[in-house]
Chains A and B, each alone.
Chain A
Amino acid sequence: MKLKKNVFLSTIFICLFFLVYIFVAARPLGKELQMTPQWTVNISPVDIVNTQAVSGQLPFRLGQMMGYFTSDGKIVSAETFPYKASISSNFYAKYGSDDPEIPFFSSNGVQTGTIKSSGFPFFEDDRIFMFFPGGCSFMQCNTDGTEKWRYEGVMPVTAFSSSPAGCVAGFADGTLCTFSPAGKVLQQFSPGGSDYDVILGAAYSPDGKYVACVSGQNRQRIVVAKCDKDHCIITFFKYFNKDLTRQTLVQFNKKSNIVYYNYADGLGIVNCITNECKEIPVNGKVIAIQESEKANTAYALTKNGTTYSVYAIEGQNSLLGSFSFTASSAFILAHDDSLFVGRDSRISRFKLTRN
């Protein structure tokens, strides 16, 4: 009788426990990311000269064609180029192997200025750089193409990127150098830590507080350093199991608290505040990282021969999924609530929603 009573009480207790657990421990499931196809357009050459600026023009470059499109699927301009070209959201230019000067244009096709030097130009947003023959020297230009400041060196530039805070150049001797928008050398140091010093990828955070690089051979590593007034303090580093010899992507997010890097086996993500690092295996070389702040996701485009893959990453470190396609050239671009994927002669828009 007593045993029956105990069993009954135990059953009641267990039922009550589960009942309470279901309500107390329950958390809402995360909303799933959905990529809904919106449109796909084919690109054919459209020369736009001296047209009125269309707001929100987005740049694209696919093979030997570049131009601008809008988020509703209109190809505003599309031009072919025989040799090389550089394009950003603000400027574009076509150039030859030894052009004595290079005219460049705004996104609406109006000539904005001329770089009166020979070399290879590089546009990032509204920033204009010119790399000089020999590959060791470069200058930053004003928006009319005149020289703002120049750096001449004797070591080949092996890594370069810019942000609103300035630019960073990595050199074949392992030196990393950050420059202010006015050309002042802010920090110069060699991360070292390897048998051979070389910088293969570098980035400067948009707020100017961090610099990061992939450096060295025979114990290659990612280094994140916090920039003080005159010097940098290494706040995070991690050695890799394998070394890359090719140039590699290093990029900060817009908030300057996360840095993405490509290493031999995949994509690494470092939180600059907590110094936590997450690594995600990817197929091939990472050629672009795009962020969608609205969807709180980042997207990595990788290339392995003619196979391109797009990886969706949630927050800082969760791989949500990926898809692959075959192409001879491709790009990705995140803007507002959309991800644009370019593939050979087509661009597609995917709307990013959470349901």
Chain B
Amino acid sequence: MKKHTSIIKNIKKTAVLCSTLTTVILSSSLYAFDWPQAEIESDSFYSYFGQLRAGVISNSLIFHESSDIKSVDSGTIIALISEHDGDQGWFNSPLGNAVIIAHKDNLLTVYGNLDGSSLPENIEKMHEVQTGTPLGISGNSGWHQGNSCLEFQVADTKQKTSINPRILMPRIGKELELVIGGISAVNKKGTEYNFLNQQTLPAGQYYIYHQRQKTAVPYKTILSINGAIVETLSYDVLRQDNQRICVSGRKNYPVEIVYPDDQKQLLADITLPRGRVVLTVIAEDILGARRNVSYTLNVQ
């Protein structure tokens, strides 16, 4: 009987151990990258990938507050960008002091806005790094606003795209709430129709916009007409097209189309046909949670 109990105990211990191991292995394999600094809640970033930042579509994920910075995966340091404050004739990168690491699968990670004095003493001799290798402390050496600190980027050198780092990183806590509102249509002549008080408009080609949120960026926006999806804009990657950073949908859209001003963000480039049109806008966050709003339009 005693022996039987002992066997059961051992089985239980093994099960617990297996379960713990499975959890650890799963959690570590679910995401390609670790955190580049201390973990923060999903709704606590200073600025998100795809947001309008000083006139360009940002390909950075920007963290609040200074923190110890570490490599998100094993790899090879391929470049150190420096502030050249004392030296004449060198361009100053808005990344300030930055470390660029090449990883497997043609991925590069960029750690910008680091404090120069905090960089490891032997950083110029460091080549291979492991997950968690210290890279210094985030500071204010680059272009930055307020108390924004680490500027983190992920690039795919094969596809020539910038990847939303949050796809590859662990996520904790709730996402920032997406708000869909202030839907308007702007035709090629620049005439604007605000759907809140103007549901009648002439047929033709329009850019459809919604009110830009100052911090949150949808992971995806979907626009459908009478139930059929006509445009999906995705903020998982940013592409370069004709020397411009673009958000991709049916076409690639540069900043002056995606963010024509501080207030608007593009939803679609569509042609509205004559008749009664039900226009539905869906905004989706990175976890797949959706918000939607519909308008019935009288297109003449």
Contacts and interface: CB of A to CB of B under 8 A. Distances in A.
B134 to A, nearest CB: 16
A137 B126 CA distance: 28
Interface stretch (A127-135, A255-263, A268-276): A127-135
A245 B112 contact: no
Interface in A95-150: 97-98, 100, 117-120, 122, 124, 129, 131-137, 150
Contact of B79 (A62, A98, A154, A200): A200
Q: Max chain B CB contacts within 10 Å: which of A118, A152, A198?
A: A152
Interface in B99-147: 100, 102, 108, 110, 112, 123-124, 126-127, 140, 142-145
Given A152-B254, A196-B76, A119 B91 contact: no
Nearest to B89: A288
B240 A122 contact: no
Given A135-B98, A287-B87, A288-B89, A154 B245 contact: yes
A173 B87 contact: no
B272 interface: no
A59 interface: yes
Interface in B9-24: none
Contacts of A331: 87-88
B155 interface: yes
A86 interface: yes
Contacts of A86: 92
A36 interface: no
B56 interface: yes
B240 A152 contact: yes
A217 B127 contact: yes
B80 A245 contact: yes
A282 interface: no
A328 B86 contact: yes
Given A120-B93, A172-B79, A217-B127, A132 B55 contact: yes
B56 A134 contact: yes
B73 to A, nearest CB: 15
SS of B interface (majority): loop
B74 to A, nearest CB: 14
Given A152-B56, A156-B93, A196-B76, A244 B124 contact: yes
B56 A132 contact: yes
B140 A119 contact: no
A131 B53 contact: no
A63 B81 contact: no
Contacts, number: 178
A226 B123 CA distance: 34
Interface stretch (B156-164, B185-193, B223-231): B156-164
A102 to B, nearest CB: 12
A59 B88 CA distance: 9
A102 B144 CA distance: 15
Interface in B54-97: 54-56, 58-60, 76-82, 85-95
A180 to B, nearest CB: 13
A61 interface: yes
Contacts of A154: 59, 155, 160-162, 238-240, 245
Interface in A140-184: 150-158, 160-161, 172-174
A197 interface: yes
B269 interface: no
Given A156-B98, A158-B100, A118 B91 contact: no
B243 interface: yes
Contact of B155 (A119, A155, A246): A155
A105 B86 CA distance: 20
Interface in B26-70: 53-56, 58-60
B112 A172 contact: no
A222 interface: no
B81 A97 contact: no
B59 A134 contact: yes
A146 to B, nearest CB: 14
Nearest to B142: A135
Contact of A137 (B81, B85, B89, B245): B245
A97 B92 contact: no
21 contacts: A61-B86, A61-B88, A62-B86, A98-B144, A117-B54, A119-B94, A120-B143, A132-B55, A134-B153, A135-B95, A154-B59, A154-B160, A154-B240, A155-B162, A172-B78, A172-B108, A172-B157, A173-B160, A196-B78, A200-B79, A217-B78
Given A60-B88, A119-B54, 20 more contacts: A61-B88, A84-B85, A97-B144, A122-B91, A152-B240, A153-B243, A153-B245, A156-B95, A157-B91, A158-B79, A172-B79, A172-B108, A172-B110, A173-B155, A173-B160, A174-B157, A196-B102, A218-B76, A247-B80, A247-B82
Q: Which 3 interchain pairs have the tightest Cβ spacing?
A: A135-B95, A118-B54, A154-B162
Interface of A: 59-64, 84, 86-87, 97-98, 100, 117-120, 122, 124, 129, 131-137, 150-158, 160-161, 172-174, 185, 195-198, 200, 217-218, 243-247, 287-288, 303, 328-331
